[in-house]
Structure formats: structure tokens, C-alpha cells
Amino acid sequence: MRSSERIVITGIGLTAPNGDDPAAFRRSLLAGRSGIEPWHIRYFGETIAGVCHFDPLKYQKRKEVRVGTRAGSVAVYCANEALRDAGVAWSGTDRSRVGVYLGITEHGNVETESEIHEIRQYDYDLRFWSHYHNPRTVANNPAGEVTLNLGITGPHYTLGGACAAGNLGVIQGFQQLVLGEVDLALAGGVSESIRTFGIFAGFQSQGALAAHPDPARASRPFDTARNGIVVAEGGCVFVLERLEAARRRGAPIYAEIAGFASNSDAADMVLPNAERQKECMELAIARAGLEPADIHLVSTHATGTPAGDIQECEAVRRLFGPECRRTYVNNTKSMIGHAMGAAGALELAGNLPSLQDRTVHPTINVDNLDPECELRNLVINHPQTVDGVDVILNNSFGMIGINSVLIVKRTES
Amino acid sequence: MTNDEIAKAVVEIITDIVPDEDCSNLDPAAPLRDQLDLDSMDFLDIVMELRKRYGVEVPENDYPKLATLDSCVDYLAPKLAGVAAE
């Protein structure tokens, strides 16, 4: 890889249902602490969700919160935290050379539902439809709110990639840095999806919404009693820079982007496809110049649906054969739910510390492992210290058959 | 509504629209936009809130009449004559 193509992660900003910064998030994941709680949403009623508790006013004025969107607030919080974490001297930064690339599963449902709810109180009189509807619902909104908040004049846009989107934001950031379009990328994914009743009702109608008397036990990938998805909100934004620029300014370097891939199932609206998932992982590994045995941690996408988990486990099982003795497998959604557009980026962020602490966080709530989800070195219920983690492969898959895989590695000197 | 009630109602609306601003000591004769960080979308919010809270319709041609607190009161007084304060 040419030196200009060596892109590193130098900052992390995140909010998850069980932590509002990388250290708190990691502590929760190692402790097996769930962030799922009771949740009420209009029309749907009582349910459960992964809810974030960051303070939007840490970086936004009250008016910004009032006129903006929840996804925008999540993005602004994460972007500011990431820049702070990276130690970027913001006042001296050429903001025309900064890009914002955020993955989203969907955007605009929350705002549209709210407006319809509002005008319903006025007998659907459209004179009461907000003039903020369009700026709130344009697809670039979450990334655009970051540029407004931080005075960034470089490019910004979102990447609509269903639940594969978190990885896509990072991939886009990588590509734009390699192309020389920007010198610093704020890249990741965000989700406000717990605030749209349509997501819950849609999964319910599909028979894919998790239910359990104890919210903390509801998200249970790989367990025989799993019964669907727990919807979560959240966000994770990485600061990406070229390696030489990061070294020049003495930045902390969490990891280097080693490879990535994205492909399509071309098979079904909602059902995942193990073969295409395997191909996507294979392509990412090949691009990274690696073999499957070089991957030390596979961060699975598994959402806790009966069919989806089996498909991914089959893909992982086929690709990582007996020679992959040092390849461990885990999952994050059991603790935070499915953070939709943020999932891929958040799940990577939760696993990045393993490059240093050699510990793989577990997936929780596996009381009875589904035989069809059995995998060698699947880390369940308790964290596991391993020989070392040099390379992490992060899976993110989504509806309409979209797959994305991101590989990061410990930075070589 | 009395003129004082109208002025109070307008200030309440503006306070909700620009919650970071201090609206407690506005000069009633000076343009609101000179005293507060009010953009064109905020201005549309004032119009919307007058519609929602008091059923008052402000046609676009009349927007300049909402420039100052005093001119708001002058303009809204006949429209709110029979309306009780919130």
C-alpha cells in the first residue's frame, strides 16, 4: 500500500445506550452491561429500546437542538468528541479540507411522523406543517448539522446503506482521503431510529421485533430463545487521517484501515445471504493482503433474528476454517441492541481496545447456544483474554441485500 | 388581549424560538433582529406560533409589521381584541 493510502483512526467520538464515550462504552462491554430499557413510542405503545443519554447541550445551543434533528444532535456530539479525542488543533485547521461522511439506515421518518402527528391536532390543516420539515428530512441532514456546528466548509453527505451503513461511512472517509479530496475525515454512522414508530411497527409486522420481560435479556444473538431485533439509537464518528499526517502531529493512533468491501445479495428484500456475506469478507481480506487466519477478531453483525444469525454464522464458519485457531468471534448487539446506521461504526469502536488489551468482549444472553450458531472461539457471556489481537474484521449487513466489511489492524511502525 | 398582554405573548413566543437569547430587556421600539439572533426561519416560527396559539394569520405582505415589539403590538391588537390571554 502506498504511504498516501495508509489511513489511520486518530479519534473516536461515540454515544451508545451503555456509554457516552469510548472508555465507558468499553467498560460496559467488558462487564456485559446492557443498555436496553423500557421505551414508549406513540401509536406503538410500550416496548424496549437502546436509548442514549448524552447531553446534546454539551456542544449545541438550545436553538440548534430545537430546529435540528436527533440524528443531527447525535452526529454533532460524536464529531466534537472525536475531534477532542484526536487532539486536533481545530482553530488552526483548514476546514475546507475536512469532510463529513456518515452512514444512515434511514433518515426523515422521525421528522415526518412528528409533523403528521402535529397537524393531526389541527385536523390535518397543512398551514401547520413546519417550514423546518425539508431541512430536517433531507438525506444529508445529520452530516450537514455537523458542518453547521463546527464551521466545516469541506464536503459533507450521508451514505444510505440500511444497517450496513456504519462501515460505509468509514469506507467513504478512507476513499476520500486516498483520493486527496480532504485531509481529515469525520466518518462513521448515526441513528435516531428509536424515535420512529414505523421502525418498531415494521419489525413487529415482519415478526422480527424482540420481546422479553427483562429488557436487558431481550437482545440475544446466537441463543436458541432469540426472537428478533432490539432497536437502538446511537452514533460513532472516527477522525481519519493519513498516517504521515497523524505521525507528524503526534496524534494517538488507534488503528489503521487495512481493507474493506461492499457487495449485494441480489436475492431477497430482507433475508440475508451467507454466500454473498462470505464473498464480501473474502474480498475485504484479500484487499488487505491477508488470509482468513490473520483475522484475530470477527465482530459479527448478528441482530438476534432466528434466520439472520444462522446465515452469518454459516458464512463465518465456511470462511474461517480449522487453520484459523487464533480467530475469535463476538457480537455487540446483545448489549446495545441494533443501532442501525451507527451499528457498524459503534461495534468497531467497542472492539478497537482489544488491539491493546488483548481482551475480546463477549456477547451476552447466550443461555443455550443454538447449535446452528456454534462457532469456534465464539466469546460468550464472559470476556476472554487472548494471545493477541492484531487485526479486526467488522461485519455490517442490511436490508435489500447490502453487505459491508471493514478490516482494521494495529498500526505498524 | 390588552397591549401589555400582547407584548408579553410575543416575548414568550420569541423566548421559545431563540432559547439561548436574553429576551427580558428588549427595546420595544428597536427592530427585533437588531437585538436578537433571529433568522428568517425563526421569523416564520413567530408567524407559526401566532397561528397555533392565537389563531392569528399573518399574510406575507404584513411580515414587516412584526419588525419591532411595538409594531407587533400595533399590528396584532385589532386581531387579538376578542382573544383571551393564555
Instruction: Kindly report, residue by residue over A102-138, the tens digit of the pLDDT.
Output: 999 999 999 999 999 999 999 999 999 999 999 999 9
CA distance linking residue A42 with residue A38, whole number of Å: 14
Is A2 touching B (CB cutoff 8 A)? no
Residues ≥6 apart with Cβ < 8 Å to A234:
A14, A15, A16, A17, A50, A52, A74, A190, A191, A336, A339, A342, A343, A346
Instruction: Return the beta strands (E) in A283-401 as ranges.
Output: 297-300, 328-331, 359-360, 384-385, 391-398
Domains of chain B: 3-79 (1.10.1200.10)
Banded pLDDT at A315 (limits 50, 70, 90): very high
- CB-CB neighbours of B57 under 10 Å: 11
CA distance linking residue B11 with residue B50, whole number of Å: 12
Domains of chain A: 3-248 (3.40.47.10), 260-409 (3.40.47.10)
CB A238 within 8 A of CB A9: yes
Nearest in space to A249 (alpha carbons), one of A89, A409, A82, A410:
A89
Task: Please give the grid coordinates belonging to residue B4.
Answer: 401589555
Residues ≥6 apart with Cβ < 8 Å to B55:
B83
Cβ contacts (< 8 Å) between A62 and chain B: which residues? Answer: 19-20
What burial letters (b/e) apply to A105-126, b meaning 16+ CB within 10 Å? Answer: bbbbbbbebbbeeebeeeeeee
Nearest chain B alpha carbon to A119: B52
Instruction: Kindly report, residue by residue over A22-52, the tens digit of the pLDDT.
Output: 999 999 999 999 999 999 999 999 999 999 9
Tell me the pTM.
0.97
Q: Is B44–A66 a contact, with Cβ atoms under 8 angstroms apart?
A: no
- Identify from B14, B45, B57, B58 which residue to disrupt to test chain A contact, counting A C-beta atoms within 10 A and taking the largest count: B45
**Among partner residues A62, A127, A132, which is closest to B51 by beta-carbon distance?**
A127
**pLDDT at site A2:** 64
CB A408 within 8 A of CB A259: no
**pLDDT at site A52:** 98
Instruction: Kindly report, residue by residue over A215-240, the tens digit of the pLDDT.
Output: 999 999 999 999 999 999 999 999 99
Is A61 touching B (CB cutoff 8 A)? yes
Task: Please give the grid coordinates belonging to residue B83.
Answer: 382573544
- Mean pLDDT in residue range A284-297: 98
**pLDDT at site A1:** 59
Instruction: Kindly report, residue by residue over B21-34, the tens digit of the pLDDT.
Output: 999 999 999 999 99
Nearest chain B alpha carbon to A125: B52
Report which residue type is found at A382.
H
- Mean pLDDT score of chain A, rounded to an integer? 97
- Identify from B13, B17, B18, B20 which residue to disrupt to test chain A contact, counting A C-beta atoms within 10 A and taking the largest count: B20
Nearest in space to A284 (alpha carbons), one of A140, A147, A164:
A164
**pLDDT at site A413:** 60
CB A194 within 8 A of CB A231: yes
Cβ contacts below 8 Å, chain A against chain B, sum to: 22
Nearest chain A alpha carbon to B52: A128
Cβ contacts (< 8 Å) between B17 and chain A: which residues? Answer: 63, 66
Cβ contacts (< 8 Å) between A67 and chain B: which residues? Answer: 41
Is A123 touching B (CB cutoff 8 A)? no
**pLDDT at site A338:** 98
Angle at CA A306, nearest 5°, toward A304 and A312?
75
Closest CA of chain B from A61, distance in Å: 7
Banded pLDDT at A171 (limits 50, 70, 90): very high
- CB-CB neighbours of B16 under 10 Å: 14
CA-only gyration radius of chain A, Å: 20
Instruction: Kindly report, residue by residue over A353-366, the tens digit of the pLDDT.
Output: 999 999 999 999 99
Q: Measure CA of the first residue to CA of the last residue in chain B; give whole Å.
A: 9
| Backbone phi, psi, residue A312, to 5° | -70, -40
**Among partner residues A122, A128, A132, which is closest to B41 by beta-carbon distance?**
A132
CA distance linking residue A243 with residue A365, whole number of Å: 39
ipTM score assigned to the predicted complex: 0.93
Is A57 touching B (CB cutoff 8 A)? no
Given a cut of 90, whether residue A3 has pLDDT beyond it is no
Nearest chain B alpha carbon to A61: B20
Nearest in space to A177 (alpha carbons), one of A382, A29, A371, A8:
A8
**CA quadruple A252, A353, A60, A139: dihedral, nearest 10:** 100
Nearest chain A alpha carbon to B15: A63
